[in-house]
Structure 1
Amino acid sequence: MMDEKDKKIKELKETLEKEKERYNKLEKEFKKTKHEFEEYKTQYPAIGQKKELPSFVKEDIKHLKKIPGQKKNHKGYSRRIPERIDFIKPLKLDICPDCGTELSETQEVRKRTIIDIPLTSKTINTQYEVHRKYCCKCKKLVEPEVPNALSNSPFGLNLMLFVVFLKTNMALPYNKIQQLLLIMYDLQISEGGLVNILFQVKKEFGEYYQTLEKKMRRVRTKHSDESGWRIDGINHNIWLFITKEIALYKIRKSRGSEVPAEFLRKQKNKVITCDGFSAYNKLKKLTGCLIQLCWFHILKNSRKHKKNYPEEATIIHDKLKQIYALAKSYNHKATDEQVEKLKKEIKWLAYPTYQHQEVKGFVNTLQERIDELFRFTQDSKIAGDNNLAERGLRKAVIIRKISNGSRSNKGAEILEVLLSIVETARLQKQNPLFFMHNILASES
C-alpha cells in the first residue's frame, strides 16, 4: 500500500513540476506579448479607440503652413512679348462704336500680342511614290528610304514619338491617348495600334538604351532606388539608376541585390547613394562598390522614433539634425579631422542605454554603417541625399497608380526603355520629342 501511495505522490510531484514549467513559460510569453503590444500602441495610438470618422477620411487643415502668393513688396513681372511674330493684323474703325460719328485719321497705334493655339488640327497624309531602280552591279532593285518613318509602319515618326511622349512623360493610359488623338487630330488608333507603335519605337531605341547601360556602369557616382510594380497583377519591382545626366530603369521580379549586381557588374571604389535598403548592403560584396547613405531617410527614421518614443529618441533626432547641418556646412571640402569629429558625434549616440528595441536597433545601425555616412563631405560629386532618385521614380509611381503597372512582360520592357529615354531628356533639359527624334536620326 505504501509503495503505491509513494508512487502516486511522486507522479503528482512530477506533474506539478511540469505544470510549473508550463506556467512560467506562458508567463514569459505573456509579458513579451504585452510589451510588444504596448510598443505597438505607442506607435499607433488610435488602435483600440473608437473613431468618429472612417480611417480614409482626412481631417480638415486647421491653418495653412505657408501664406499663398508672392511675398509683400516682391518685384513684379509679366509675360514677355514673343520674339517671333507669325501674323500682324491691323485693326481699324471708321465709325465710333459709341455714337456712330465718323472718325479721324489714326492718331496712335497700340500693340497687343495674343498667344494662341489651333483648337484642332488635321493629320498630314503624305503618299510617297517610291521609284525603284535596277543596279546592274548588285543585280537587284533598289529604292530610297522613306523619310521620317519606321519600316512597316503606316504612321510617321512625329506621330509615333508623340504617342511615346503621352504614354511616358504625361503618364496617360491608352484610352486617354485615343481620346486625345481623336479630338485634336480626328485620328482613330486602336489600343493594339498604340501598343504596336510603342513596341516599334522601343526596338529602334534598343542600341541607345545599351549605350545608357554602358555609361551608367562607367560613371563614378550614381544614385539608386526601387519601388513596387505589377505585371499582369503579379508583384514586381522597378529599379532606377540615375545621375545628373542619364536615367536607367529596370523592371524585375526580385528586389534582391542580384538585380543591381547583374547590371552594374564591377564597381570597385565607385559610389552609390541609396536609402540603406538591405539589398545595397550585400551589393558592396558583389560589386566592390562604396555606399553613401541618404541623410533624408536617416532623419525621417529618427523623426518617426522621436514621435513614437519621445523620451528616448528626441535627443537622437535633434543631434542628427545638428550633425547633418555641420556636415553640409563643409561644402564637400571637409578635412579628415573634421570627418573624424562627425564620426565621434555619431559614436556618442551609442553611450546611453535605450529601453526600446527600435531605438536601440536604429542607433546600432548608425554605428555599424558609420563609414557610409560622410563620404559626401569630401567629394563634390557625391550627394548626401537620394532626392535625385526619389524624383526620378516619381514618374513611374504616377504611371503605376494610373495604369496599375504593365499587362505583360512585353509592356514592362517597352516602359523601362522608353521611360529611360524620356527621363534622360528631362535631366539634360531637352525637349523630349526633339531629343528622341535626334537619337533616331543619328542612328539611321
Structure 2
Amino acid sequence: MTGDDLTKDELLSRFLQLEQRVEELEQENKRKDEKIDQLQEQLDQKDERIEELETRLRKYENPHTPPSKRRSATDESPTAQDDEDDDVRTDGGTPGRNEGHDPEWRTVADPDEVVEVTCECCPECGEHFDESAGVSPRLVEEIPDPQPPEITQYNRHHYGCDSCGTQTVASHPDCPGEGQFGVNVIAQAALSRYDHRLPYRKIADRFDQLHGLELSGASAWHATERAARAGRCEYEQIRRQIQEAEIVHVDETGIKRDGDQAWIWTFRTDEHTLYAVRESRGSDVPAEVLGEDFAGTIVCDGWTAYPAFSSTLQRCWAHILREAEDAAEDYEDAKPIYRTLRQMYVGLQAWLETDPSTRERAQMHRSSQNGLRSLAERSVADEPVATLLGKIEGGIDHWLTFVGEPAVSPTNNAAENALREPVVLRKIIGTLRNDRGMFVHETLLSLLATWRQQGRNPYEELKRVVKSNEMVSRTHAVPAVEPSG
C-alpha cells in the first residue's frame, strides 16, 4: 500500500503513534539522564571519599614514613589472611622466633626456700602411704606483698660556730633536702611516668593501692620534677659526651607546648641519647646542643637545618630510597632512577664488607659521586620526578660520606628509633604545659634512654642520682609555673 492509498484518518493515526513513540523515547532518555546524574553524583562522592582516605593513608604510607610505621601487610601476610588474629604484627611478619633460630629460655634463680609437699593417705580410698615414690619439683617465682611506707622523723639539729658565726644544720643521707617523700618514692614516681607511661593521678592511685601511701597527682608531679632536677647534672654530662663524639645521629619531631607547635630533638651516639625540647626547628638548636665548634659527622635526613649548621653530613639513604620508590609507583620516569639508587646502595653495602683500603674508599667515593651526578642530570617531564632528582643533586656532597668513613652509617635509623618513645608519650600526654614540663620531659627521657643503652638499671640509677645529686640540683633555676598532671 502506498502513501496515496492511505486515508487521511490512517495517516493521522500513524502520525499520532509516531508522536507518542517519540514522547516515550524522550521520557526514557530523561530517565536515563536522571540516572546518569545520580550515578555521577555517587561517583563524585566516592572520589571525594577516596581522596580523603588517601590523604589519611599518606600519614602512614609516604616517602618520609619510617618502615616501623608503615602498614606493609600483603596478600600473603597474616594481616591479610586473618583479621581476627590479635597477635599479628603490623609489619607483615609473624610473632615468635624465626624459623631455624634456637629458642630462648628464661634463667631461673636458685630457690630461697624449699618446701616439702607431702600427702599421708590416698585421696580415693584412704589407704595410708608408707613412703614417697618420688619427687616432682616445681619452681615458683613470687614477689612479696607490697610493704606499707616507713615513716621516719629526722630531728635535724642546728649549730652555731662560736669562732666564725656560721649557722649549720646537720644533714643525713636518707633525709631529702626538701619535701616529705624519700628517694624510693621519687624514683618510682619518675619511672612510672616515663617508663610505664602512667598519668600522674594513676601514679598516685598506684602508691595508694600497693603501699597505702596517700599522695595527690600534683605530689606525683613534684616528685617527678625532683627526679629531673636531681638528674640534670648527669643530663649535662651526656650533652658534653655527645659534643665530643665523632658521629651523632640527629632527628626531630613535633610536640605541643601549651597547644603551640614545638619540637623534640634527639641526638644519639652509640652510648648516649640526649633529647632537647625547643620551640625552634632551625639550625640554632644543633648549634646550641652540639656547640658551634662541633667537629663530628652528623647523620640526618634532608631537613635544611642540618646543612645550615654543618657541612660534614651523611644524608639518610632510607629516606631517599623511600621517596624514589614512592615516585616509581606513579611515574614511569622514576622507575630507572629508583632502580639505579637501590642497586648503588646495595652494591656499596656489599663492597664495604670486603674491608677496602682508604685509597679504595676514596676512589669508590669519587666514582659513586659521579654516578649520582649523572643520575641527577637526567631530563624528565614529570615535576615530582624532577623534584626527586633535585634532592639527589642538592645532597650530592653528603650521600656518600659513609663510603669514606667506616664508622658512619648510611641511614639515620638510630635517631628515628630514639624518637619512638617520645612519640608514644606524645600520643598519651597530648601537650607539655610550660617550660617546667619541657625541662622534666627532656631530662628524664635522656637519662632513661642513655642508661638503657649502657645496660644500667634505670630504677637503681634514678635512686642514685636523686640521693647523691639532690643538693646540687636544687641550685638549677627552673620556671615557677607548675604543669598539670
C-alpha RMSD of the superposition: 2.9
CA distance in 1, matches of 2:45, 2:172: 67
User: Which residue does the alignment assign to 2:338?
Assistant: 317
Residue 229 of structure 1 aligns to a residue in which SS?
Answer: strand
Q: How does 1:113-152 map to 2 (within 5 A)?
A: 113-118=139-144, 120-130=146-156, 142=168, 144-152=170-178
Do residues 327 (structure 1) and 348 (structure 2) align?
yes
How big is the shift at 1:146? 2.7
User: Which residue does the alignment assign to 1:295?
Assistant: 317
User: Which residue does the alignment assign to 1:258?
Assistant: 284
The code of the aligned residue for 2:321 comes to L
Inter-CA distance 235–368: structure 2 relative to 1 (3 Å threshold): closer
Q: Any conservation in 1 of the 2:300–2:313 contact (CA below 8 Å)?
A: yes
- CA deviations over 1:80-106 (Å, ceiling 9, x no partner): 3314x2222221111122332111223
User: Which residue does the alignment assign to 2:307?
Assistant: 281
Inter-CA distance 82–203: structure 2 relative to 1 (3 Å threshold): same
The code of the aligned residue for 2:314 comes to Q
Structure 1 segments of 4+ aligned residues over 6 angstroms from their partners: 56-60
Do residues 223 (structure 1) and 249 (structure 2) align?
yes
User: Which residue does the alignment assign to 1:17?
Assistant: none
Q: How does 1:100-111 map to 2 (within 5 A)?
A: 100-111=126-137
Inter-CA distance 69–222: structure 2 relative to 1 (3 Å threshold): closer
CA distance in 1, matches of 2:382, 2:117: 78
How big is the shift at 1:164? 0.9
Among residues 303, 326, 330, which one is paired with 1:304 in the alignment? 326
User: Which residue does the alignment assign to 2:234?
Assistant: 208
Q: How does 1:233-252 map to 2 (within 5 A)?
A: 233-252=259-278
User: Which residue does the alignment assign to 1:343?
Assistant: 369
Do residues 358 (structure 1) and 384 (structure 2) align?
yes
Inter-CA distance 395–129: structure 2 relative to 1 (3 Å threshold): same
Inter-CA distance 413–115: structure 2 relative to 1 (3 Å threshold): same
How big is the shift at 1:51? 4.2
CA distance in 1, matches of 2:163, 2:342: 76
- CA deviations over 1:236-255 (Å, ceiling 9, x no partner): 11111111111111111111
Q: Any conservation in 1 of the 2:298–2:313 contact (CA below 8 Å)?
A: yes
Q: How does 1:88-103 map to 2 (within 5 A)?
A: 88-103=114-129
User: Which residue does the alignment assign to 1:176?
Assistant: 202
Do residues 49 (structure 1) and 47 (structure 2) align?
yes
Do residues 374 (structure 1) and 400 (structure 2) align?
yes
How big is the shift at 1:280? 0.9
CA distance in 1, matches of 2:98, 2:418: 31
Do residues 395 (structure 1) and 424 (structure 2) align?
no
Q: Any conservation in 1 of the 2:97–2:103 contact (CA below 8 Å)?
A: no
CA distance in 1, matches of 2:196, 2:382: 46
Residue 47 of structure 2 aligns to a residue in which SS?
Answer: coil
How big is the shift at 1:350? 2.6
Residue 106 of structure 1 aligns to a residue in which SS?
Answer: coil
The code of the aligned residue for 1:156 comes to G
User: Which residue does the alignment assign to 2:89?
Assistant: none
Unmatched 5+ stretches in structure 1: 1-45
CA distance in 2, matches of 1:134, 1:53: 78
Percent identity, aligned pairs only, is 26
User: Which residue does the alignment assign to 1:27?
Assistant: none
Residue 49 of structure 1 aligns to a residue in which SS?
Answer: helix
User: Which residue does the alignment assign to 1:423?
Assistant: 449
Residue 261 of structure 2 aligns to a residue in which SS?
Answer: strand
CA distance in 2, matches of 1:269, 1:140: 48
Inter-CA distance 191–75: structure 2 relative to 1 (3 Å threshold): closer
Q: Any conservation in 1 of the 2:299–2:412 contact (CA below 8 Å)?
A: yes
The code of the aligned residue for 1:326 comes to G
Q: Any conservation in 2 of the 1:268–1:290 contact (CA below 8 Å)?
A: no
Do residues 198 (structure 1) and 215 (structure 2) align?
no
The code of the aligned residue for 2:346 comes to A
How big is the shift at 1:154? 0.8
Do residues 81 (structure 1) and 79 (structure 2) align?
no
Inter-CA distance 436–92: structure 2 relative to 1 (3 Å threshold): same
Query: Normalised by the size of structure 1, how large is the TM-score?
Result: 0.80
Residue 249 of structure 2 aligns to a residue in which SS?
Answer: strand
Unmatched 5+ stretches in structure 2: 1-43, 58-70, 83-91, 472-485
Inter-CA distance 152–216: structure 2 relative to 1 (3 Å threshold): same
User: Which residue does the alignment assign to 2:38?
Assistant: none
- CA deviations over 1:161-206 (Å, ceiling 9, x no partner): 1111111122222122222222222222212212211222222222
Inter-CA distance 244–75: structure 2 relative to 1 (3 Å threshold): closer
Inter-CA distance 51–177: structure 2 relative to 1 (3 Å threshold): same
Inter-CA distance 54–275: structure 2 relative to 1 (3 Å threshold): closer
